[in-house]
Amino acid sequence: MASSLLCTPTSSLSPATLFKAHPRFPLRHRFRCNVVEPLKFDNGKPFFPLLTTDPALPTFLSSNSHLERSINKNDTRLRIFSGTANPALAQLQDSVRGCDVYLVQPTCPPANENLMELLIMVDACRRASAKNITAVIPYFGYARADRKTQGRESIAAKLVANLITEAGANRVLACDLHSGQSMGYFDIPVDHVYGQPVILDYLASKTICSDDLVVVSPDVGGVARARAFAKKLSDAPLAIVDKRRHGHNVAEVMNLIGDVKGKVAVMVDDMIDTAGTIAKGAALLHQEGAREVYACSTHAVFSPPAIERLSSGLFQEVIITNTIPVYEQNYFPQLTVLSVANLLGETIWRVHDDCSGGFEPYSTLGID
């Protein structure tokens, strides 16, 4: 295994316990979050310290105390490793011969370096005789390059899928792909996990009256995502921001479809990059009479000038997950970071165990 991996053996530990948990938020809500079946694990703010540019790892990552908790001491065939893209989300290293190996590595910026590290990790495990190799990709880089919008343009999402497959991965576990068709780019099975249950679980703790709530899609392409989100929030009404894009990362809001006057607007998207779309959408919502605006997104890319736009006072709260590591300099007062660690850990365990042993169906977690 590459020397960049962290070294801690995990022969008998359940993936759900490999990731840090946290106390559950108090349920003071006045509207009901209609999840098909309540989540069986906690979600919320990560327990680990803020990431900094300092290469030193948080103290708990070098500790073996959490290894004392084990679900099945006879299971020695499961191994989980983390690259250096998001070391606070997972760690581990051990012999992989004949094992079911899971490599946790988001291909977030610097995307090329993190992608190359993932490919080398996959190749190393394949050459070390791992039985099965699953690439766990919380954030799939190049996901937006999923089609040709003009001549002489690369479909980079398909290219990256080919690279991961050819490197030797047997399976991919991804979180909130930008578009559903990206799963078809892989010639290997893809488990698609949504970060939606994590955000819904947090919103259920907010004291927001269901009659005051409206879910907003920041563009027409995200209507299906917003509609599914609204259905889980007591079937809240839906509004759509109509915009036209004149270039990459440049958006212009044109119109609002729906009524937000006097409402608490919850904007839902899969990622926030430069925050141009969601910031202009929030400005339009305020202009149309929205009382408060919340932004909810799974992936926080936060390319400049995203921080300035998000912290400008347009949003009551910006709710994201830690599929991409959030560094200390990118924190601002309105930001709330929720952890997908337990969600990924539970999914890994179910994939490894073929969903046997009395586990609920994948659909309860929003897994395709």
Is 118:105 a contact under the CB 8 Å cutoff? yes
Place of tokens 């400049």: 304
Q: Tell me the C-alpha distance between 353 and 220, whole Å.
A: 39
Q: Tell me the C-alpha distance between 102 and 121, whole Å.
A: 10
pLDDT at 243: 76
The stretch 265-281 carries a mean pLDDT of 94
Query: What is the pTM for the complete model shown?
Result: 0.75
Q: Are strands 238-247 and 213-217 parallel, antiparallel or unpaired?
A: parallel
The stretch 50-57 carries a mean pLDDT of 47
Is 282:256 a contact under the CB 8 Å cutoff? no
Q: Are strands 100-104 and 132-137 parallel, antiparallel or unpaired?
A: parallel
Is 70:12 a contact under the CB 8 Å cutoff? yes
Is 275:310 a contact under the CB 8 Å cutoff? yes
- Closest CA relative to residue 198, chosen from 338, 318, 314, 47: 338
Order of strands, edge to edge, in the sheet holding 292-300? Answer: 250-257, 238-247, 213-217, 264-272, 292-300, 317-321, 335-338
pLDDT at 303: 93
Please state, rounded to an integer, the average pLDDT across all residues of the chain: 79
| Token pair for 250 | 């440049």
pLDDT tens by residue, 293-348 = 999 999 999 999 999 999 999 999 999 999 999 988 899 999 999 999 999 999 99
Q: Tell me the C-alpha distance between 322 and 339, whole Å.
A: 5
Q: Tell me the C-alpha distance between 147 and 183, whole Å.
A: 13
Position 32 pLDDT exceeds 80: no
